[in-house]
Chain A
């Protein structure tokens, strides 16, 4: 399978804990995006990388959130001191131009 993969698929954590998600994009794609989707809503943009450079960050990305893409391949999204409001599906997408291909998402539940 050469699509976008995300790990883990599900994460349950307690409020105040830190969590980290991984995204592996399609190998030839230089652009990588993170989105968050809550129930009944469309995905909301969080951040965007071109190669290893983080070029755009949404105001939704509070200082508890950090994303990296070392070496311009896989990416990680870390949430520190999780809150119940962080419960959502976290989606990763990659592209070479304007067509973004999405992974299956990581569903985060904060208890």
Chain B
């Protein structure tokens, strides 16, 4: 069945550092890929998505590219801010998952001043 694996946290970075959070997936068919973010005390929010191979999703300075050849959807940001401190979840839907989202375990990011 479908599954998502993302790098374990916590990740601690200084402000303005470069961020990469790795995400790989296993899926049949052609899933859509997502990054969700959960800020402290808040609900899950969609950060970005990509629906087909080589698509790049982007939002708020974050980017991720749907790489079918490496089954990856790594999240990147060139310069993180303290306000980016949150838990980031990689997820997929489609293929065997149908419409349900299949999430990774989440990666906690702490950005220090």
- A residues within 8 Å of B by Cβ? 31, 33, 35, 40-45, 48, 56, 58, 91, 93, 95, 98-105
Contact = CB atoms under 8 A, between A and B. Distances in A.
Contacts of B82: none
B72 interface: no
Contact of B101 (A40, A45, A104): A45
B100 A56 contact: yes
Nearest to B44: A102
A45 B102 contact: yes
Contacts of A41: 105-106
Interface residues of B, number: 24
Interface stretch (B14-22, B63-71, B86-94): B86-94
B103 interface: yes
Interface centre among B42, B93, B104 (most CB of A within 10 A): B93
Contacts of A99: 46, 49
> What are the nearest 4 A-B pairs in CB distance?
A42-B103, A45-B100, A102-B44, A104-B43
